[in-house]
Chains A and B, each alone.
Chain A
């Protein structure tokens, strides 16, 4: 890997939040009830806010002096380092909540551990984000339980969402030399170290929701090094077109 693992690590964390925030933003005014519309907007706001804190840090670390907007709007698909889970397109409400729940179950232990980082800036960003992630997890997990135990239709849709999205979850925990080097320095969180907490949360909530975990072990990896599913390019096209078509535009 490159000689500067910290900027790469910060971008991996930031991109997860920006891309999920953008996906959630796509749903505003499309949710099944007003309360969930407000919820999805608030979730998006928290994720984009976390992304901004991280991009601002990445900007300060950047030898090319790229701004937070440059990171979000001027990088191409292969330069985004988010896990493939967050770029998966929106489906029905169960799909949205299952994707959210998997991310929340990952981010709560991630931010808990990262708030102890030897990097003061990352620790501060994580301590703040932890509170938000915990609230998100309460929200998404209660929906999983409600939908799983609701009608046969809501149960079937939740099961289908879990089956469809589970193969993208291992990418959240993918690690290479970037993490290994930073873990050794006390800066990064070892993904393997927080995996048990994720598994416990998922197992407990799915059991309460009467949802069966998929048996197929296939997992799609690659997001952390820029190998994405076909969906990210479309998302970026929509997100970046204004900024790229009108350089320097303000409103």
Chain B
């Protein structure tokens, strides 16, 4: 069995999530997010790194929210994806790292595009991690910026519910974090 453990260490560079050179990066990066399946874990920025440490594969992910119930399932999906390539499960370790804390700014441009195509309004950019929100929330159906928040919490921990005043459609918005 792979070892699943929590590491509080901040050995990643803040904000670094570039595809790294490891041969298994594309395999792990393609794992879908269970709650928003059009997006991969790389699109969401929760895949931090894939490394080889003493002959073992070490995959590091970070949760979106402390209580995100999808994390354990994502870890399983990573184990399945890697073992499907022929790697033994005991040569794999999935690490959960809390620091640096996930921010919606790590959602990639492709991820944002996929959110919009799925009818979910992507988060706005933060300024240096402070909760200063830039721009307006745009309706993913009709593109209007005449929208209103109808529920601060939504169907998953990372979303709020909004409504478009022009086309009257309700839609999910990924909360800036």
Residues in chain A within 8 A of chain B (CB atoms): 34-35, 38-39, 41-43, 45-50, 52-53, 56-57, 120-125, 127-132, 134-135, 138-139
**Interchain residue pairs with CB less than 8 A apart (15):** A35-B153, A35-B161, A38-B153, A45-B65, A45-B69, A45-B157, A49-B67, A57-B6, A124-B8, A124-B10, A124-B101, A127-B99, A128-B98, A128-B101, A135-B152
Q: Decide if A134 touches B131 in the complex (CB within 8 Å).
A: yes
Q: How far is the CB of A62 from chain B (nearest CB, A)?
A: 14
Q: Decide if A120 touches B10 in the complex (CB within 8 Å).
A: yes
B88 at the interface (CB under 8 A from A): no
B150 at the interface (CB under 8 A from A): yes
Q: Decide if B153 touches A129 in the complex (CB within 8 Å).
A: no
Q: Decide if B151 touches A35 in the complex (CB within 8 Å).
A: yes
Q: Decide if A52 touches B152 in the complex (CB within 8 Å).
A: no
Q: Decide if B98 touches A50 in the complex (CB within 8 Å).
A: no
Q: Decide if B175 touches A53 in the complex (CB within 8 Å).
A: no
Q: How far is the CB of B14 from chain A (nearest CB, A)?
A: 11
- Which has the most chain A C-beta neighbours within 10 Å: B65, B66, B131, B155? B66
B154 at the interface (CB under 8 A from A): yes
Chain B interface size, as a band, is 20 to 34
Closest to B99 in A: A124
Question: Which residues of A are found within 8 Å of B153, using beta-carbon distances?
Answer: 35, 38-39, 41-43, 139
Q: How far is the CB of A65 from chain B (nearest CB, A)?
A: 14
Cα separation A129 to B177 with both chains bound (whole Å): 11
Residues in chain B within 8 A of chain A (CB atoms): 6, 8-10, 63, 65-69, 97-102, 131, 150-155, 157, 161, 175, 177
Q: Decide if A131 touches B177 in the complex (CB within 8 Å).
A: yes
Given A39-B151, A139-B152; A127-B66 close (CB under 8 Å): no
Q: Decide if B101 touches A38 in the complex (CB within 8 Å).
A: no
Q: Decide if A128 touches B6 in the complex (CB within 8 Å).
A: no
The 8 Å CB contact of B66, one of A38, A39, A128, A134, is A128
Question: Which residues of B are found within 8 Å of A127, using beta-carbon distances?
Answer: 98-101
Question: Which residues of B are found within 8 Å of A129, using beta-carbon distances?
Answer: 66
The 8 Å CB contact of B65, one of A34, A41, A46, A139, is A46
Closest to A54 in B: B66
Q: How far is the CB of A144 from chain B (nearest CB, A)?
A: 14
Question: Which residues of A are found within 8 Å of B152, using beta-carbon distances?
Answer: 35, 39, 135, 138-139
Closest to A37 in B: B153
The 8 Å CB contact of B157, one of A42, A56, A120, A124, is A42
Question: Which residues of B are found within 8 Å of A53, using beta-carbon distances?
Answer: 6, 66, 98
Question: Which residues of B are found within 8 Å of A52, using beta-carbon distances?
Answer: 66-67
Q: Decide if A123 touches B6 in the complex (CB within 8 Å).
A: no
Cα separation A53 to B66 with both chains bound (whole Å): 7
Question: Which residues of B are found within 8 Å of A134, using beta-carbon distances?
Answer: 131
Q: Decide if A122 touches B67 in the complex (CB within 8 Å).
A: no
Cα separation A226 to B157 with both chains bound (whole Å): 32
Cα separation A48 to B71 with both chains bound (whole Å): 14
